[in-house]
A and B are shown apart, each in its own frame.
Chain A
């Protein structure tokens, strides 16, 4: 577990390149900085300055080596490396509010942008005009789209939104791909079709009263695409399995809301949020239940020293307790909320390393094997 503090400002968003030697991140301003790894040091090699507003989403396509960024200036840019310089191409999204999140599709021929104008823009490259064109998915989204994740078949897209619902849309563009085969989420997939929607109309079973009462902060498809997990602002995490039964299992947790989630195997997911440490959840497909797997953070060993009578009274005066532990700071590695989680090695089916960035400007790479050995009751199925 290595913690690297990049800056003092929050890291708004980040993305890794294919071989994980470079990271593109936004230091809470209008630019994107690209850092290169030299052993244990990180050096800044590029600064991408084009946006007029804070950059809210970055995604680095591994195969085609292009970066797409979107920002609060209602624009998105696709950056390509020409020699030693990254050159931007503007993409007109036709939105009238800030863009919030962006994601390349698995085949990298299109990308989706979620925005505050209550719609998702699906952008693809039109060869004849040499220009990026976008199509909108509007209905039935009624508030800002906060997070997106593509299904491995390159057509289905999961979107979490501030109208308390998580949905699966079809983003099938006939100009760039053939008709997709049927999946567990459905077989008819015209553009913009809603194949799944969470909420009072789609709930069955699960702990908690199921009717999600919070903004959906993070969504993630599993590696096979058959399972969809999302975290919501009412401190719940839910998993839906596509198919005829389409059940939703949710867990109301005792922690603060989780902001981001990712599958690390087909049955386990890691989520992190305002509590500043990642948390493991295990999903049991046969029982349809989500259980809390454990807190993934290595606590620092606090020294046990005796406390004098004077200190005891001082503590009583200042903090109304005479306890010995001086909990001056958080015991976790991150010192502020974690806003993004990304899988580094192993993919979503057998992840061996993942990385988190947060509002404290730091980035931590977590190694699954050493976590398993360090925290004894942890079982990653």
Chain B
């Protein structure tokens, strides 16, 4: 028989939702960070002050919220800052971050890899190399295991 004649409606059912032992993260519904301010970042980029734009972009990451719109907005802003950096400025920017900042930067880099645009991959790979030199394999493992993602 070439065609399945039986009902396949069950394939649209997510059986894991009904599992009574399903693990749900206990997250606090506290008010979360709303991501960086787009207008402020734009101003700084136009003025050429990349370092400040970089630091502001990495402030207030929307890690707890589950709202995809907020996360997309924050991601877009951070990627705009990262792609407007000159290659020579990347290393000092990474050096100016502390340990958790490097972890956060790695998270954004991998999110940026997910949707490659024309020239974003090249610059993101340079960012990745510099962040890896500081954070090591541990920072990448933390991107993979983080429960709170950007």
Contact = CB atoms under 8 A, between A and B. Distances in A.
Given A235-B137, A254-B135, A213 B142 contact: yes
B148 A256 contact: no
A52 B147 CA distance: 36
A142 interface: yes
Interface residues of A, number: 22
A211 interface: yes
Contacts of B139: 252, 254
A233 B23 CA distance: 18
A65 B147 CA distance: 44
A164 B147 contact: yes
A254 B148 contact: no
B28 A214 contact: no
A257 interface: yes
Contact of A235 (B21, B26, B100, B142): B142
Contacts of A143: 23
Contacts of B4: none
Contact of B145 (A207, A213, A253): A213
Nearest to A199: B26
Tell me the interface secondary structure of chain A in the complex.
loop
A207 B99 contact: yes
Contacts of A236: 138, 142
Interface string A244-270: 000000001111110000000000000
Interface of B: 21, 23, 26, 28, 99-100, 103, 135-139, 141-142, 145-148
16 contacts: A142-B23, A143-B23, A200-B26, A200-B28, A209-B148, A211-B148, A213-B148, A233-B145, A234-B141, A234-B146, A235-B138, A252-B99, A252-B138, A252-B142, A253-B138, A254-B135
Interface in A254-290: 254-257
Tell me the interface secondary structure of chain B in the complex.
helix
A254 B136 contact: yes
Contacts of B148: 209, 211, 213
Contacts of A255: 136-138
A180 interface: no
Contacts of B26: 200
Nearest to B146: A213
Interface in A190-240: 200, 207-209, 211, 213-214, 233-236
Contact of B147 (A142, A211, A252): A211
A255 B141 CA distance: 9
A163 interface: yes
B138 A214 contact: no
Given A142-B23, A214-B145, 15 more contacts: A143-B23, A200-B28, A209-B100, A209-B148, A213-B148, A233-B145, A234-B141, A234-B142, A252-B103, A252-B138, A254-B136, A254-B138, A254-B139, A256-B137, A256-B141
A253 B139 CA distance: 8
Nearest to B28: A200
A328 B142 CA distance: 27
B16 to A, nearest CB: 15
Contacts of A257: 141
Contacts of A234: 141-142, 145-146
A256 B138 contact: yes
